[in-house]
A and B are shown apart, each in its own frame.
Chain A
């Protein structure tokens, strides 16, 4: 009954809808026959019909596809393996991407949980893993790094670097992007593509959703290798359903306005397809909308196949003609007419960027004619600062742009302060000239907007202008300006000449002569800093200005002591030199107890000494001076840095140290010491990627600092990135002087890494030849040591024994004191084990001697801990002595000394694996090896535990595992990628 009534109601309603509005009332009157209730219902239906004609008009899965999948937020707080899910970053064709925390390493990562259907088949998962593994080998600042693939409780995931920022898609929602910024973004994408294409990886899905913009200007391309798989997977789905990939279906399979014509047709694609996609992205950035549009996917595809896009300059405000040409060329239908390589497109974009720079530079020069008059300059720092702030409005956009271009091009406002020439009669005053340079450098280094090269990188460039090397220096150090000067001191009078030169055209922008008494010289650096900032049109915040002109001390004598100490400190960082510097700083402080800078530097030196010597008094001294310096001058960057070092070396409170360092970084924006300190901290937090980034920043600020290069090499070696380590060695070789005492050690280390890269012992033999015949003189002991190590690897034991007998124990002892290698007795014992014809009693004796020697060393570790390396050696000796239980116990104890995840622990774990190998536990040994090959490792000269595939191949100590199929499989493959 009710149903019939409703049917009637619906019929009247439908008939009313089909009538014109003005005829409806009559129709209702006629059809409802006075049934007011019925009529009211029909009228309501009509009201709602007219009100919202599009209600539920689009299918539910178009309006709310997210309701087809479980709420991604439900995963928040859950764990996947060692990752804790913290937030949802995005949902897409490749599943949900979360922000997660790697609880083992304490770092943020991006965690992709892959859709079940992707991994339903083992073969498909394997293919994906293979693809992504290839891509994960890509190492480039513009490519998002893949940390790990894995499976936990049948959840398949990919852990990647976490990129803070927005997608290019989000950035474009606010409209077109200015050409200079668009070019910079495209340039960085092209740079990523260069590297990927070089490794034969085509992205296949370059689109704004896959491009992240970091707040610091870096552009990161996501999903290399995986995006490709996603599309293949879609196609596979269709073909597996039995249908051929026709145009229509191909369109559905990968509908995207970023696909090249050949890709949309389902044809094989190459690098040029990615360049098309980049062209589309570039067009859309400039025009604010994509080049190919349509109401339906079919229309979009038709446009891609057939239509030439509307010229971008007709859609965008200002697009340089050269840029328009780049877009046109990238969007040629025929791949043969496009850019053939990413490099080509990259250089075209670079040329445009330079042109944009040129225009801006011209604007600069025009502006300079309006700069304040000479008298106005001296009205006061505040006035200058205020004026510069107003100029910043004009320069602001350029400087932001320059920051973004940092990894690619020299920065506009960058400066190197060259050594000042000493023109005094007294040649001892060279230190004085150098110190003034250092002082000026310290002051201008506090100006955030300038990039200032550190002193260690400019030490060799005295008298550059005379030698006509200014342009070359600009290129080598990546700076646009140099400041050079001379100092003449006669008694208490000082004459200083300075000149600021543009490295690009060697033009002198500004020069000045100052005549001062020694007392007045103290404030000179501040004046110079302000003046340089002015000439370079740099924004100086009032705070920076205050810091820059602040006098470090009023006492000229104290200032001289400070300068002397600083000079020593900068030339060498050995504990002996640091102690000498401490004495001089102390004398400065004795004369002026309020000399905060001297106290801060003293504290830093004390911490350095404390790393080598029994620490308590040094720690206390460092802490007291740092705290006093901060009390005297809370805004002094060096004081904050000193405090950071106290937290780091004294308290080992790394989080607190990082917090303090962040404060320091704001006060010392150009100090290479800041990122270097960060690198030390990151090492202790096992944050290797952050460490590399920090060291690269240090390298940028101090490109010729051997210490920085050394640490970079070392870090890459820990990560088994042999090519990168070798690259750094070569940088080191180029920078360090040949007389450098450590140079030949480096030579051998380089050969060792080459050996590990290719597993080719000839690399070592070649190094020995170079040592014998090369220019660097090598000590006889050292040469024997390298020969001995090579002979052991080659299994020429009689030669090894002969050489070993000739090497004094102290040669090994020095290495041990640096925490490297083994004792001579240990080497002798191992040789006794491996030599065939050894008398059992003699073998036992050699082992026992080594055992006693090693036991005696146990308690000599730094910081009073038992020395885990000695313990590991002892464990191995026990294993060879047949004391299997003792061996495993001591090895486990050694492992337990260091914190989980540290390379020190990984290193000792390798010893445990070796102990297992020699105590009849091959499975345990191999389990451990498989793990250890994927974690950072300490590769030390002469250490038998080095955990690299090459070491596993060559060292006799692994022979017990050699016939094991798992071990053989391990050796047959490529070296696993180190996960960090």
Chain B
């Protein structure tokens, strides 16, 4: 590794701690992982063109290769890393979406004009926050489906990878995904889905 103070070892350890139930580990992880995710996001955006996108896991793959310590891998496999990273990713994206909303409300005075791209981002931020809220709701009665959505939508994992992490059949993952998605979309469309 080129970095002197070996944050990978630290990150690996924190990921372990978090998996073992240490909730404070997440708070410590975010600042360590965030710059890397940002860099990858920048990179991703610079290459984003219609009909020409990266493989969906490439971004996390990069993060995985960069951030984890391979001299003593406590991780059984990439999939576990992805599962955890998916939650991190959700957390980071939602935080940013929230900041943007705050900026839109509070800091509008300094922005002269909202260009088209910025407007799209605003819409996405709003949508993402609504989705996050719906996921919170779903988590109160179906934790596993939330995990599937997280891994698939925030982590970009394939059904097979999710099945591997959750140790369930891939068909079950597909069914969870289909049901969760329909429920989320219904909820976001302001259908009353609570009183089941």
Contact = CB atoms under 8 A, between A and B. Distances in A.
Interface stretch (A92-100, A267-275, A933-941): A92-100
A61 B93 contact: yes
Interface stretch (B9-17, B19-27, B180-188): B180-188
A737 interface: no
Interface in A6-45: 6-7, 9-10, 13-14, 17, 37-38, 41, 44-45
Given A92-B42, A252-B54, 6 more contacts: A58-B56, A60-B153, A61-B44, A120-B3, A241-B66, A293-B51
A780 interface: no
Interface string B166-196: 0000000001101101111110010101011
B80 interface: no
B142 A91 contact: no
Given A41-B196, A115-B38, A69 B96 contact: yes
A943 interface: no
Contacts of B191: 44, 48
A296 interface: yes
B46 A71 contact: no
A3 B141 CA distance: 5
4 tightest A-B CB contacts, nearest first:
A93-B46, A59-B156, A68-B41, A241-B65
A380 interface: no
A51 B185 contact: yes
Contacts of A94: 42, 46
27 contacts: A5-B196, A10-B176, A14-B175, A37-B196, A41-B196, A45-B179, A48-B189, A49-B178, A55-B184, A60-B90, A61-B154, A62-B56, A66-B124, A67-B124, A68-B38, A69-B41, A71-B96, A74-B107, A76-B110, A88-B118, A91-B45, A116-B39, A120-B3, A234-B43, A238-B62, A241-B1, A296-B55
- Could you say which interface size class chain A belongs to? 35 or more
Given A14-B178, A67-B125, A117-B36, A44 B186 contact: yes
A61 B186 contact: no
Contacts of B186: 44-45, 47-48
Interface string B131-145: 100000000011001
Contacts of A77: 110
Given A68-B37, A70-B96, A46 B47 contact: no
A343 to B, nearest CB: 30
A64 B124 contact: yes
A546 interface: no
A93 B42 contact: yes
Interface string A810-834: 0000000000000000000000000
Contacts of B154: 59-61
A93 B93 contact: no
Interface of A: 2-3, 5-7, 9-10, 13-14, 17, 37-38, 41, 44-49, 51-52, 55-56, 58-71, 73-74, 76-77, 87-88, 91-95, 115-118, 120-121, 209, 234, 236-238, 240-243, 252, 255-257, 293, 295-297, 300
B2 interface: yes
Contacts of B45: 65-66, 91-93
- Main secondary structure, interface of B, reads helix
B111 interface: yes
A297 B59 CA distance: 14
Contacts of A61: 41, 44, 59, 89, 93, 154, 156
Contact of A238 (B56, B65, B141): B65
Given A62-B53, A64-B124, A297-B54, A46 B182 contact: yes
Contacts of A65: 41, 44-45, 48
Contact of A68 (B46, B92, B141): B92
A420 B148 CA distance: 88
Given A59-B154, A67-B97, A209-B46, A252 B193 contact: no
A116 B62 CA distance: 17
Which of B43, B103, B155, B193 has the most A CB atoms < 10 Å from its CB?
Answer: B43
Contact of A17 (B38, B58, B141, B178): B178
Nearest to A242: B70
B121 A66 contact: yes
B42 A73 contact: no
Contacts of B93: 60-61, 64, 67-68
A71 B54 CA distance: 23
A56 B184 contact: yes
A87 B112 contact: yes
B38 A71 contact: no
Contacts of B107: 74
Contacts of A236: 2
A6 B142 contact: yes
Contacts of B54: 62, 252, 255, 297
Contacts of B66: 237, 240-241
- Main secondary structure, interface of A, reads helix
A645 B121 CA distance: 49
A591 B139 CA distance: 96
A117 B55 contact: no
A61 B88 CA distance: 12
Contacts of B176: 10
A2 B196 contact: yes
Interface of B: 1-3, 35-48, 51-56, 58-59, 61-62, 65-66, 70, 89-90, 92-93, 96-97, 99-100, 103, 107, 110-112, 118, 121, 124-125, 128, 131, 141-142, 145, 149, 152-156, 175-176, 178-179, 181-186, 189, 191, 193, 195-196
A120 B97 CA distance: 26
Contacts of A297: 52, 54-55
Nearest to A78: B110
A121 B185 contact: no
Contact of A64 (B99, B121, B179, B183): B121
B6 to A, nearest CB: 12
Nearest to A71: B100
B161 to A, nearest CB: 12
A58 B141 CA distance: 25
A95 B131 CA distance: 28
B103 A74 contact: yes
Nearest to A45: B182
A60 B99 contact: no
B182 A121 contact: no
Contacts of B38: 68-69, 115-117
A38 B196 contact: yes
Nearest to A8: B196
Contacts of A118: 39
A45 B103 CA distance: 35
B140 to A, nearest CB: 8
Contacts of A87: 112
Contacts of A64: 93, 121, 124-125, 128
Contacts of A52: 185
A63 B42 contact: no
A14 B183 CA distance: 12
Contacts of A46: 182
A62 B121 CA distance: 13
A238 B155 CA distance: 20
A61 B89 CA distance: 9
A257 B51 CA distance: 11
Contacts of B193: 41, 44
A202 B70 CA distance: 35
A525 B175 CA distance: 87
Contacts of A49: 178, 181-182, 185
Given A10-B179, A69-B42, A76-B111, A37 B53 contact: no
A46 B182 CA distance: 7
Contacts of A74: 99, 103, 107
A309 to B, nearest CB: 16
A13 B186 CA distance: 13
A257 B41 CA distance: 19
A257 B52 contact: yes
A62 B92 CA distance: 15
A121 B3 CA distance: 7
A48 B38 CA distance: 34
